[in-house]
Amino acid sequence: MTDIISTILLGIIQGITEWLPISSTAHLLLAEPHLPLSLTANAKEFFFVGIQFFSIIAVGVLYFKELSPFTRNETRRRATLSLWGKILIATIPAGIMGVLFDDIIVAHLQGPIVIAATLAFYGLLYILLEKGHARKTKVHITDSMEDLTCKQAFLLGLFQVLALIPGTSRSGSTVLGGLIIGLSRPLSANFSFFMAIPVIAGATLLKMLKLGLSYTANEWMIMLIGGVVAFIISLIVMKRLRAFLKTHTFIGFGYYRIALAVLILVVGRGFA
């Protein structure tokens, strides 16, 4: 019963924090010691990758029309194929860096000091950038997926590389990057959702090759429950975030990140 409760709560945390600019890694590492799972080390590592994978399935469901090239409408099909081209271009930087440095990052950059530092740094950056952005006038803003260029997609991919450092937030770094290069918040958020698909799918595949699939029925059940919960919560959060970013800034998230950084430093010994 304890495993089920822990699994559900971890799935909820994943579903919320994967899409908000507050770092899912920081929240899961903070929560994990207090939500124990009866899993082997390999199964636990695969569990956290697996619930991320279920989160990106939610992207495919929520944005099925935008992402599916299987349509009789030639104009829409071309637009969708163009979008996938931009997504793949944006994936290149993080894909290369992730393959090269994943083991180093896991071994050396998942401590509380690193995570607290990145939380606070980007939290402050959100606040300063948003306040500076609000003072700008008559600046051209790209606000439609069709107008997003391949160059802008690649630049967003470079910003996504920053999220390889735990505590940064993949969605946060890409939306932040979007503001810097002249994209609207809703467009940056939507494209960051799309960019997650190949990145997390690739990470899941790498973990499958590394860890294998030899788990007990109980371990598979725990993974499935956590994944389904993460999927449902992801759908809800992405819908709400799309609406939120049309009228709100990242300033509140910036203050939250700084507060969380302080909390992590205070309870840092609780990290597994």
Can you give the three-state secondary structure of 75-116, one letter per residue?
HHHHHHHHHHHHHHHHHHHHHHHHHHHHHHHHHHCCCHHHHH
Give the mean model confidence (pLDDT) for residues 70-98.
Answer: 91
The pLDDT, as a whole number, for residue 135 is: 63
SS (H, E, C) 10-55: HHHHHHHHCCCCCCHHHHHHHHHHHCCCCCCHHHHHHHHHHHHHHH
pLDDT of residue 104: 83
Would the pTM count as exceeding 0.85? yes
> 12: number of CA atoms within 13 Å, CB side?
8
pLDDT bracket for residue 74 (50, 70, 90): confident
Domain boundaries, the chain: 2-270
Is residue 272 predicted with pLDDT exceeding 70? no
Banded model confidence at residue 6, pLDDT cuts 50, 70, 90: very high
What would the pLDDT profile of 13-72 be if each residue is shown by its tens digit? 999 999 999 999 889 888 888 898 988 888 998 999 999 999 999 999 999 989 998 888
pLDDT at 106 over 90: no
Residues constituting the chain: 272
Residue type, 158: L
The token duo for 233 is 């919560």
Residue 267's pLDDT is what?
A: 78
Per-residue pLDDT tens for 226-244? 999 999 999 999 999 988 9
Q: Which residues contact 199 (CB under 8 A, 6 or more apart)?
A: 91, 94, 95, 98, 160, 170
What per-residue confidence (pLDDT) applies to 131? 82
Write the CA distances from 202 to 92, 195, 199, 206, integer angstroms: 11, 11, 5, 6
What's residue 202's pLDDT? 87
User: What is the per-residue pLDDT across 113-170, written as a single tens digit (0 to 9) for each?
Assistant: 899 999 999 999 999 988 876 666 555 688 889 999 999 999 999 999 998 898 999 8
